[in-house]
Amino acid sequence: MVQAGVTTSSTAPAFEDSATTSPIAARTEGLTKIYGKGDAQVVALGGVSVALNAHEFTAVMGPSGSGKSTLMHCAAGLDEATSGRVFIGDVELTSLNEKDLTRLRRDRIGFIFQAFNLIPTLTAKENILLPLSIAGREPDPAWFDQVITTVGLSERLGHRPTELSGGQQQRVACARALVSRPDIIFADEPTGNLDSKSSREVLEFLRRSVSDFGQTIVMVTHDPVAASYTDRVLFLADGLVVEELRSPTAETVLERMGHLDATPGV
């Protein structure tokens, strides 16, 4: 059986942060995810209990294959847990039927992916507003303007993705995630395809969304500099959260990665 060095554990430490009194935006309890069956079985998450504070920017780090994407996908209801529970606010996501889950995802969760995932035939503005249009909702005009201005896209709203740089496309994806004011945004390596200048722009924007607008963002990254923009870093290894670090700097993150003997993934 391919176990990827993971044992399922219900006694893993619960990373419920006592450092703040923030409400909790999302949490998992003993979350496990097992892919495949029999000999091909892979334990991607071995019993993760973690609380994600509202109005905070959290980074998730760990070696390639440690379960970062799986954790994000299960926490966001994009992938089904094998066992354990996931809550968005007070709602237990793992108990919802497909219809209610789709609605909760649409209304309360935002996503930013490494590959932008914009619709090529739509303009930047149409891409940004697409999730709201699908939900039959109107954007709040003042909030829309604020998001567009902050993200620096005012002059580019009529452009299609191919007419935008990678950094601009990712800022469109950020604006799309923010415009509905979701309870929580999950970003899986949002700067993974960007050069360092574009990365900085996207990270500054995400940071401002949390500090100035009170958004809640969870971001997977391999990059200690990206992690230094966040309030808290969770370190995954072999499908478990093994450490956390508050008020990270690039240096303290690097040092902790060294302690954990975690090779930054490729």
Tell me the sheet residues that pair with 109.
Answer: 184
Pairing of strands 91-92, 83-88: antiparallel
Its sign, for the CA torsion 97, 49, 68, 212, is positive
Q: How far is the CB of 83 from ligand ADP (least distance, A)?
A: 16
Q: How far is the CB of 217 from ligand ADP (least distance, A)?
A: 17
Residue with Cβ nearer ligand ADP (66 or 170): 66
Among 41, 64, 149, 196, binds ligand ADP (CB under 6 A): 64
Alpha-carbon gap, residue 152 to 155, rounded angstroms: 8
Q: How far is the CB of 25 from ligand ADP (least distance, A)?
A: 21
Residue 250 site contact among ligand ADP, Mg ion, none (CB < 5 to 8 Å, cut-off depends on kind): none
Does 222 interact with ligand ADP (rule: CB under 6 A)?
no
Contacts of 228 (CB under 8 A, 6+ apart): 248, 249, 250, 253
CB 87 within 8 A of CB 26: yes
Find, among 144, 207, 211, 205, the residue nearest to 170 by Cα.
205
Residue with Cβ nearer ligand ADP (108 or 222): 222
Q: How far is the CB of 264 from ligand ADP (least distance, A)?
A: 11
Does 182 interact with ligand ADP (rule: CB under 6 A)?
no
Find, among 158, 171, 160, 161, the residue nearest to 200 by Cα.
171
Residue 232 site contact among Mg ion, ligand ADP, none (CB < 5 to 8 Å, cut-off depends on kind): none
Q: How far is the CB of 234 from ligand ADP (least distance, A)?
A: 12
Does 66 interact with ligand ADP (rule: CB under 6 A)?
yes
Radius of gyration of the chain, Cα coordinates, nearest whole angstrom: 18
Binders of Mg ion: how many residues, by CB under 5 A? 2
Q: Which stretch binds ligand ADP (CB under 6 A): 9-17, 22-30, 59-67, 200-208?
A: 59-67
Interacting positions 8-67 with Mg ion (CB under 5 A):
none
Residue with Cβ nearer ligand ADP (152 or 265): 265
Does 65 interact with ligand ADP (rule: CB under 6 A)?
yes
CB 68 within 8 A of CB 220: yes
Among 8, 28, 66, 69, binds Mg ion (CB under 5 A): 69
CB 85 within 8 A of CB 68: no
DSSP state of 189: S
End-to-end CA distance of the chain: 25
Binding site for Mg ion (CB under 5 A): 68-69
Binding site for ligand ADP (CB under 6 A): 4, 35-36, 42, 44, 62, 64-70, 265
